[in-house]
Structure 1
């Protein structure tokens, strides 16, 4: 099969579209013929080994995982002997390492049936970003009807889902984004839009019950200034960080965990863990029309390097997908 492979860290040019062995599903795995995959910020972080501190997990000298990508949607081709939830021909989606390939073998607890009303491209856009938004707002922030929620980075992959989910939870949503994306986030349900090129939301005087930070470029003091006295700050890394390429967003997350012990605000750092249960929830929301993926552009799998370059340079809004 064809896959996107890299054996060293670096710019998108290190990625190669080449022939590799087709995976064979183990007992609790499902073999999926990938029809579409989605690019996430983590893909270029892994590709570059950035931040350097994370190479302790990525692989010190070279990537431990050679095939990039996590989000996919496709059709089940075969199942392991212990799998009972799926059979050949089922349309599914999920999140697992190695998704930038024609086939991927996935543990059955990381895959779920695809939303029936969505294309493969739309479904592939959901898993990582949708799960991050869901866990950040539902599990960490515990958003309640009537609360004021600010989403910093509202036009990105996670942000576009977060705006929709916060509205579905009954919140009043303020979206922070660039002026070119203002109409997009309004169309997704944002009640108010802050143009970060003209206004600093941390100094505008408005206070929020929840600040969901998806950018990582503001200090904790700034972010807390925008909270009500009993407000919640949810930190979810981001592509930019005050820590730079050595520690990246890890620095802000560590500071957040330390600070949480000493302040009255609730400060929480999000670790979005893939699960079939959350994929099922996201599928139900999509089928109900509550959640609609936004796709900026699509590329064939062979053009993955160009797709990642586009995302890395921060021109993308919402999701960029690959078709296999």
Structure 2
């Protein structure tokens, strides 16, 4: 996220001085040069640059997973495993904006955070295994694949949808690691009534604008765990790799 310094001669939708957000590779930099038609949108006035910078991949992943893969409808029961993470914090809010009944799975220290984002129910995974519960869900968004596909299918309604973010999980193949779970998901889906799929986000201007509108209206508010200076990128990466960030970690350029 930042301020437009210059635009190409054929660019009409942006001008120097515009506050924008979006993403592309190489974003740990003072300047980037994206295509105007791709993943760039005007930043809502009611959010900070730090908040806007956190949206691109995590927000789009949550939006597309719930809307396109999960086809979440009002009144449906949605379980979000990893509800306090980068994608999860967006997913809880987006699912609620779709009118879903949301259950978030997180650790004890994140219960209040997940509730504050709008979750109707919160499961503390340090005290309860959601996969062994009696509840059945229409959509499972699995940000932390720490349960087998069969365990997740057990708590999914007969025509429910399971959406995996990333890969990995128990019983990973010795030879192909997390790709084994991805392959199993793809192979299983055609043979069961439940839809089993994985999510690969497509960063695009249209969905950034959708998220911008959600933030402008107050339906979605990015959650920032920590900010680091550009000179502290190694420390930021090390913190994220611990796997316990609450929301997003952002790099600031001064």
TM-score interval for Structure 1 and Structure 2 normalised by the shorter chain? over 0.9
Alignment of 1:296-315 (within 5 A): 296-315=225-244
Correspondence for 1:284 among 204, 208, 213:
213
Assess if the C-alpha contact under 8 Å between 1:135 and 1:272 holds in 2. yes
Q: Work out the CA distance in 1 between the residues paired with 2:94 and 2:193.
A: 26
Partner of 1:97: 25
Q: Is the 8 A contact 2:85 2:244 kept in 1?
A: no
**What is the CA distance between 1:249 and its match in structure 2?**
3.5
Q: CA deviation at 1:229?
A: 1.1
Which of residues 167, 172, 182 in structure 1 aligns to 2:101? Answer: 172
Between stretches 157-166 and 266-275, larger displacement belongs to 266-275
Matched, 1:145 2:74: yes
Give the TM-score, by structure 1 length: 0.75
Distance 2:118 2:198 in 1: 25
Matches within 5 A, 1:1-324: 73-108=1-36, 109-237=38-166, 241-242=169-170, 243=172, 247-324=176-253
Q: Residue deviations 1:224-276, cap 9 Å, x none?
A: 111011111111115x5333796454322221111111111111211110000
Secondary structure of the residue aligned to 1:317 is coil
| Cα separation, 2, equivalents of 1:152 and 1:276 | 27
Q: TM-score, normalised by structure 2?
A: 0.95
Q: CA deviation at 1:81?
A: 2.6
What is the rounded CA distance, in whole Å, between the counterparts of 1:237 and 1:155 in structure 2?
A: 16
| CA deviation string 1:122-145 (max 9, x = no partner) | 100111100000000011101011
> Could you say if the C-alpha distance between residues 124 and 245 of structure 1 is closer, same or farther in structure 2, counting changes exceeding 3 Å?
farther
Does the Cα contact within 8 Å between 2:148 and 2:169 map onto a contact in 1? no
User: Aligned-pair distance for 1:83?
Assistant: 1.8
- Kindly provide the CA deviation profile for residues 157-182 of structure 1, in whole angstroms up to 9, marking residues without a partner as x: 00000000111111110000101100
- 1:80: Cα distance to partner? 1.9
> Is 1:151–1:174's contact at 8 Å kept on the other side of the alignment?
yes
Higher strand residue share: 1
2:4–2:18 Cα contact (<8 Å) kept: yes
Q: Name the CA distance, whole Å, in 1 between partners of 2:106 and 2:248.
A: 15
Q: How many residues align?
A: 251
